[in-house]
Every structure is written in C-alpha cells, then in structure tokens.
Structure 1
Amino acid sequence: MTLETIVFSVKGRPLPHTSATLDESAEEAVRNAVFDVAWTGPGIPCAPDDEATITISGELWGTGYVRDVRGAHDENSRTYAVSFVSKTCDATECSVDDLEGLKRDADLGDIAEAFDSYGVGVEIKANTIRKSVHKIRPGETLFQTLETDARAQGVLIYDSPEGKLVLADKPEGRHAGALRRGVNIESASGSLSGATSFSKVKVRGQASIGVSASALRAEAEAKGASRRKRVLIVPFEGEATSERLKKRAKWEARRASGEGVTCTITVPGFRDEAGRLWQRNRLVEVDDDWLGIEQDMVIASAKLSQDGAGGTTTTLSLKDPRALGGDNPRGKSNDAWAAPGSADADYREG
C-alpha cells in the first residue's frame, strides 16, 4: 500500500498534523476536512478564513479556507483542532450580491456564472434546460438559486478539488478494480429502508401562459421501487412542460429510493487499483455476498482518514447508480438494492 503524505497548507505554509479526516460528497456542495495540528510555535497555528489547500502525495484534494480553530491545553501540553472548508462555502452561505438579480435566456450554467458574486467558479458537466428569465430572490445564496432548478432537472451540485461548483447529471466515470469481501473490504454495513420508497411518483405543475389542460393540469408519473401502493405527489418548481415534468418524475423516483438504500464500505488506503484517489460520483464494482450486493455502485461520498502512525483508510458510502442519475447496473444483487429503472415517465393532461 502506498505511503500517503497529506499536506495541509495555510497561507502557503504547511501545518504539521498528527491525524486527518477528509470528506467529499456528490450530494453536498462543500467538502470539508479536520486536522489535529501539532503546533509548538507562538500563539495559534492559523486563523479562520486563512486561505488553505490540501494535497495528498502531491495531488490536489481541496482548495478553500480555514473554518474553525479550537485550542486547548493543560499545564504541560496543548492541542489544536483545525477544520477546512472548500471555497464553495461562499456559494452556500453568502447572499448573491447583484442589484438587478435578473438573467434572461439562460441555462443552469449561465445562471451560475452570472451570479457568482464571490469568484467561486463553475464546472458544467450536465446538459440543462434554458429558461426565458431567472430572478434572484433577495437574500438567497448562489446554491439556493441553483438548487431549485437543479432538483427539477436531475442535476447534482458538488465541488471540485479546485474549489469550484460542479453541475453534473450522471457519474463522472468509474474506478479501476472492485470492492470484494475477503479481498480488500475491511468492513461493510448496509442499510435498507422503505421509508423513502414509493410505488409511483407523480409530478404536477402549471405553465404561466394558457388555460388549457396542458397548461393548468399537467402531470408526469414514474414507477418507484415499493412493492405496495405508496404514492408521492410532488409540485413542480417553475415552468411546467412535458419534458421537464417527466425528467423530474424519473429523478425524484430514483433519488427517493436511493435515500433509503445505501451501503458503507471501508477499504485500506486512499486509492483504487489504478492509483486514483477514491472520489465521489464514480462507479465501482462491488461484490459482497453477505450484504447481497453484486453490481456496480456509485460512490455518494468518500471519507479519507489518516492516523498518527500514518495508517490510511477510505470509507465509501455507495448507492445504486440510478439514484444519482446513472444507468441500470444490471448486476445480480438482491432486488432490495435496486433503484427504479423505468426508461421514461408517463405524461398526461388533466
């Protein structure tokens, strides 16, 4: 296993640490990390809002800022816990600073770039629908103004190692090798719940122009994973069209099912068989007969941990790929692990 060196640099100066935990997720816009900093200099090792980067054996993992500095001491020793957040924190916490707050004929990428008041940056990896006008609500953040439309269009919002917002609608790729019980799985657990699973998801919306049934009583319906009657009705956010309603219905059915079906696997080291750091929103083959999984899964989140002795492990939270916009894995898993896989949603007018 490769000996990994994590470097936590604040204002261009590496801070020595005795342990580190690094978290990234395809379902959260901000990655974060926590370090136990070994500091013997005067005062505190750093301060909140100091610019910071994290590298793993020379490979950039995160770009952002110091968030919290917590110090403690007794008569003979002292400790400091320092946390890190991605640059994207400003997109989730700070209001859009734009006097007009209006963008015409724009897709999600155009909107993100137009209202990026803090220079976070955006990477577009999804095809999104253009809208005639987008209006900022006073006080809302960039994430808030994007999230409503992103949810309606099946788009994930997370961050990149460079600290930019990423808009994606499917897994970015796959990891080499596989996760196998008895080979490289140190521990594993699974959680199966029917609480968020529905037999049908219906999305209902209206158009702003017209009085016909298609304008006032439009509905799309997608099949869910529940084996008994459980219907979820979702009001559509924004201008309703056939295409938009069907896409939202499929996405909601898959996401709802995926929320209740996840497994957590811990593996040694930080990298796959090809030497790539484990990353969120990538596919990996999983073969664990004790959990009943034999299929591709998508990494919803990855937690990289290193202790004082240099030992490294990665804890992966995984879901059926369809839960994050991917394709049917067509494996041999127990049916309880599956997300809805219908090719399309049905559309009808009231």
Structure 2
Amino acid sequence: MNNVLLKVNGKYFGGWTEISISAGIERLARDFNVTITRQWPSSGENLETKIAVKNGDLVEVFIDDDVVLTGYIESLPIRYDAGSLSMGIVGRSKTADCVDCSAVPKQYSNSSTLQVIQDLVEPFKLNVSNQSTDAGSLSIQADQGDTVFDVISKIMGLKQIIVFDDEQGQLVIGDIGSDEAKTALILGVNILSGDAEKSIKDRYSDYFVSGQSIGDDKNFGKATLSSVSSSSKDEEILRYRPLIIKQSGDSNNGTCQERCEMEKTLRASKTREATYTIQGWRQGDGSLWKPNQMVVVDDPLLGFDSEKLVIAEVKYSLSSRGTLCELKVGPVEAYLPEKKIKNS
C-alpha cells in the first residue's frame, strides 16, 4: 500500500489523484506536489474550492507510516475548466530557505566542517547530522551575496563530501553511496522503462588547467607569482575538443593536475547516467527507495552488467499511469562535487 498523507496543523489530508515527491543528493531541498481533481456537480450545488491550509504552514508528508518530507507549503494552485476543478498543495523541505536565502558574510578559519555548516544554517533553526567519514576542518569565506547553499557548495568542493536533506527537513553531511539498496534493478524483472542520453557534448579531448602559485622568501627569494599548468587527455574523445580552465586560489602543479583528472572523470561518468521507471515505491523488503543508496543494475541494453551504481534521485509519482518510482542512477564519480582549492 502507498497512501500519501499530508499532516498540517494536526490534521491529515489525503485522497490525492496526482502525486509527485522528489529527493536527491544533487539538491539541498526535496519537494512535493499533490493534486485532487473533482468534477463539477451536475446539480449546480456549490463545490468546495478551498483546502484548510495556507502558505507557510509546516507540513509533514507521509507514505503510509513513513515520513518522507518535512517542510513548508509554498503554493496552493487552483485550476478549472468546464468539466472539472483541481486543487493542489506544493511545498519544499525546511532546507529550502538555505537554497533561497543569503548567508551572513563571515570568515571561517581552520574550523570544523560540521561547525561551519551548523553556523550557516543556525538562523533557520536547522540541525546538521555528520555521516561522513572525513568531514574534517577547513577555512572558507562566506562572501557578500552568497546564498547559504552557495557557501555549502564551496565546502563540498573543498572536502569532496555531499550535503543533502533528510526526511525531517534537516541537513546531512555524507559520503556518496553510504547506504545499500535491498533490491536490484533488472531488465525483464522490475524495470518498466529505461532512459539514457549517453551524450558526449560535455566531454572534451584535452583538459588544460592553469593557475598561479604564490611564492615566498623561502621558495623564491621574495614574494612573487608564478604560472602553473597541467593537462589531461580523454582517449575516448577522438576529435580535438579542448577545454581550458582557470584555477582560482593558490595553485600548484598537483592541484591543477588533480582538477584535470577530476573534470575528465566526472564528465565521462555523467555520460553513463540512466533513469529507470519501476512499479511501486518500495523495495522487496518493504522499505522505500531512497537517494544515496548503492544499487545493483543489470541492464545489457544500457551497458550495465550487474554493476553497482548510486541512486542520485528518487521521484515517487501517482497519476493516470499508476504508482511509479523513477530512479536516476550513475557511477559514484558522476556526483563528486566540483573540486576546489583554498584561497590564500
């Protein structure tokens, strides 16, 4: 059974004719959109055109007894035509404010990664859970005009971690693929449809990264700037397609080469992304499909031979097509945050 209920102001609302709930590791806030459609009464009697909730209300979204989203109602769309009226509720996780709103400009020096992120989200009354094996410490600047998510994105690049939201609307610092799916995705068994672009438009034959290294009295006799650069080649791209990247901050040959390899690997891995549609929202053991789970994919049509991939995005949907789950999957390397280096 997959019954979706919204709990608002102590009351439960259900009976939706269309449902969409999405969560993923490439976003900071999950979202939902539910709709109920009613026919105009032939008797001409008044039809109730309001749902007893309002924008800004705190909402919990349940699938049966499982909470899948905690956040706020953001819109209440109403649409009608000659034969029917539809009313909806749309909202996002509590973490949506971190995506939309500005961070307080501030310098953090050699601070715990957990403490920095907690400080950034504290004005929004959010908590942070550290599930990463190596969150460590860092120095970073929250610049004027940065959103909270902008600063968190910088942190992800520095520490090569991911930050996403959980079912309670709180932030999670995690490692990619830290959980295991219980059910495999198998062509001819539970896969209804598969979709993969396999595009190379964002891949290049040659990657060049250049930057500047700041010298000092010890290394160069006096403070100075020197140019550094590195390159890497993607042997699978046969025609000449160069990409030149300027590295910010204090660079060296090692960081430039690391950026080259990261760009090549990430872009090649993105080529292998796929989206699968399956029946129902639960795995064989009854648990919901969730983002950041490693799943075995056996699909020779899309080139996967019992390969372990990470679930980057989950979308639960209900419509005239039935109760479906869309799973966006790809290699772990496809979701590593863009590597950044510390500014001096």
TM norm. shorter chain > 0.5? yes
Q: Partners of 2:254 and 2:155 in 1: how far apart?
A: 14
Report the counterpart of residue 338 of structure 1 in structure 2: none
Q: Any idea what the Cα deviations from partners look like across 1:148-176, whole Å, max 9, x if unmatched?
A: 23234433332111112233342122212
Contact 1:152/1:237 (8 A) holds in 2: no
1:65 is matched with which residue?
72
Structure 2 match to 1:161: 167
Residue 209 of structure 1 and its aligned partner are, at CA, apart by: 5.9
Shift of 1:219: 4.5
Whether the aligned pair in 2 keeps the contact of 1:280 and 1:301 (CA below 8 Å) is yes
Deviations 1:161-209 (A, max 9, x none): 1112233342122212311111111111221111122345444444556
Per-residue deviation, 1:243 = 6.9
Go from structure 1 to structure 2 and tell me whether the alpha carbon gap of 1:131 and 1:243 turns closer, same or farther (over 3 Å shift). farther
Partner of 2:154: 148
SS of match in other structure, 1:322 = helix
Task: Answer whether contact 2:97 2:124 (CA < 8 A) is retained.
Answer: yes
Separation in structure 1 between the aligned mates of residue 264 and residue 242 of structure 2, nearest angstrom: 10
d(CA) in 2 for partners of 1:215 and 1:156?
33
Unaligned stretches of 5+ in structure 2?
A: 39-46, 340-344
Q: Is the 8 A contact 1:267 1:313 kept in 2?
A: yes
Q: What's the counterpart of residue 290 of structure 2?
A: 279
Residues 33-68 of structure 1, C-alpha deviations (whole Å, 9 max, x = no match) = 110036975744322211111111211111101111
CA contact (8 A) 1:220 1:242 kept: yes
Report the CA distance between 1:254 and its aligned residue: 2.7
2:236 to 226, 229, 246: 226
TM-score w.r.t. the length of structure 2 is: 0.81
How many angstroms apart in 2 are the aligned matches of 1:115 and 1:207? 30
State TM-score, norm by structure 1.
Answer: 0.80
Pick closer, same or farther for the CA change 1:242–1:53 going to 2, 3 Å: farther
Contact kept, 8 Å, 1:286 with 1:296, in 2: the verdict is: yes
2:188 counterpart residue number: 182
Give the drift of 1:128.
4.1
Aligned to 1:192, the other structure's residue is in SS state coil
* Cα separation, 2, equivalents of 1:312 and 1:102: 48
Task: Give the alignment of 1:1-350 within 5 angstroms.
Answer: 3-16=1-14, 17-37=16-36, 43-73=50-80, 78-96=85-103, 98=104, 101-116=106-121, 117-126=123-132, 127-128=134-135, 130-132=137-139, 134-206=140-212, 210=216, 216-219=226-229, 224=234, 226-228=236-238, 229-240=240-251, 248-294=259-305, 295-307=307-319, 311-325=322-336
Q: Residues of 2 paired with 1:179 and 1:136: CA distance?
A: 42
CA distance in 2, matches of 1:24, 1:225: 35
List alignment gaps of at least 5 residues for structure 1.
Answer: 327-344, 346-350
Residues 1:108 and 1:215: Cα distance change in structure 2 (over 3 Å): farther
Question: Which is greater in Rg?
Answer: 2
Distance 2:273 2:131 in 1: 25
1:176 is paired with a residue whose SS is coil
CA change 1:57–1:241 in 2 (3 A) is farther
Distance 2:89 2:51 in 1: 10
The 3 A distance-change label for structure 1 pair 244 and 10 is farther
SS at match of 1:315: strand
1:231–1:169 distance in 2 versus 1, CA, 3 Å: farther
Equivalent residues, number: 321
For residue 309 of structure 2, give the secondary structure of its aligned residue in structure 1: strand
SS at match of 1:7: strand
CA shift for structure 1 position 221 = 5.2
* Amino acid in the other structure paired with 1:69: L
Q: Kindly report the root-mean-square deviation, in angstroms, between the aligned alpha carbons of the 2 structures.
A: 3.1
Distance 1:218 1:173, change over 3 A: farther
Which amino acid is the alignment partner of residue 109 of structure 1?
L
1:191-248 Cα deviation digits (max 9, x unpaired) = 1111122345444444556385897434465664633354433333445467755654
Q: Which residue of 2 aligns with 1:330?
A: none
Q: 258-267 vs 280-289, which deviates more?
A: 258-267
